Chains A and B, each alone.
Chain A
Amino acid sequence: GENVEQHPSTLSVQEGDSAVIKCTYSDSASNYFPWYKQELGKRPQLIIDIRSNVGEKKDQRIAVTLNKTAKHFSLHITETQPEDSAVYFCAASSGTSYGKLTFGQGTILTVHP
């Protein structure tokens, strides 16, 4: 089955800095890669996703890049703000019709004012 590794497990940055979270996956058939953000005490919510026919996708201050050859994808947050502090999860689909979405271990991002 699919295996997703996420690094780092914790990340601390100053407000205004950039933050990068990296994930690798094992199943070359995976074709969908979402990122979820979970604020303290709240439910995870989708913030951005990318499909295998696209190498990069951007939405305001967040961007995701995908390298299918190397089987890794990354989340980039620019000009970080304190409200970006949360746990971020990457995920990858197994690629089959009723396949499973496998999540990474999560990254706790703290943005210091």
Chain B
Amino acid sequence: DVKVTQSSRYLVKRTGEKVFLECVQDMDHENMFWYRQDPGLGLRLIYFSYDVKMKEKGDIPEGYSVSREKKERFSLILESASTNQTSMYLCASSFGQPNTGELFFGEGSRLTVL
């Protein structure tokens, strides 16, 4: 079974704090993704990575950065959290070409920024 594990299920942070969301996958997948899920807006891609130290912007990268130092780990960083970043964050991984392979999602991290 593919396992994608997100470090925190629920976080509450204050405006201006730096936030780290960590994701680890155990299937040696090349590709890893960070999505944001909001009701009525679906899943929106923040960043993705197709190799170690490689990253590509998604549709809504503003206010976020990512780090991929090891193949199995992909971190999402909010340098200075704002209330409009309150959301559910989903990590995913896939094998092969990034846009044509099955995505395996983590259980999500629900972030509340006060």
Interface residues of A (CB under 8 A from B): 1, 4, 6, 9, 31-32, 34, 36, 42-46, 49, 51, 89, 91, 93-106
B16 near A: Cβ within 8 Å? no
Neighbouring A residues of B59 by C-beta, 8 Å = 1, 100, 102
**Contact (Cβ within 8 A) A102 B45:** yes
Query: Are the CB atoms of A89 and B99 closer together than 8 Å?
Result: no
| Contact assessment for B48 and A32 in the assembled complex, using a CB-CB cutoff below 8 Å | no
A-B contact list, 13 entries, CB within 8 Å: A32-B99, A34-B102, A42-B107, A43-B90, A43-B106, A89-B42, A99-B98, A99-B99, A100-B48, A101-B98, A102-B59, A104-B42, A105-B40
A21 nearest CB across to chain B (Å): 13
B60 to chain A, nearest CB (A): 11
Interface residues in B19-53 (C-beta closer than 8 Å to A): 35, 40-45, 48, 50
The DSSP consensus for interface residues of chain B is: loop
Determine which of A1, A9, A34, A98 lies in contact with B98 in the assembled complex, contact meaning CB atoms within 8 Å: A98
Q: How far is the CB of A30 from chain B (nearest CB, A)?
A: 9
Chain B residues in 8 Å Cβ range of A97: 97, 99
Chain A residues within 8 Å of B43, by CB: 44, 89, 91, 103
Q: Give the 3 A-B residue pairs with the shortest CB-CB distance, closest first.
A: A93-B99, A43-B105, A103-B43
Cβ 8 A contact of A43, one of B42, B48, B99, B108:
B108
Query: Contacts of B97 on A, CB cut-off 8 Å?
Result: 97-98
In the complex, A91 Cα to B4 Cα: how many Å?
21
Q: How far is the CA of A44 from the CA of B104 in the complex (A)?
A: 8
Counting chain B CB atoms within 10 Å of each CB, the highest count among A36, A97, A98 belongs to A98
Q: Which residue of A lies closest to B91 (CB)?
A: A43
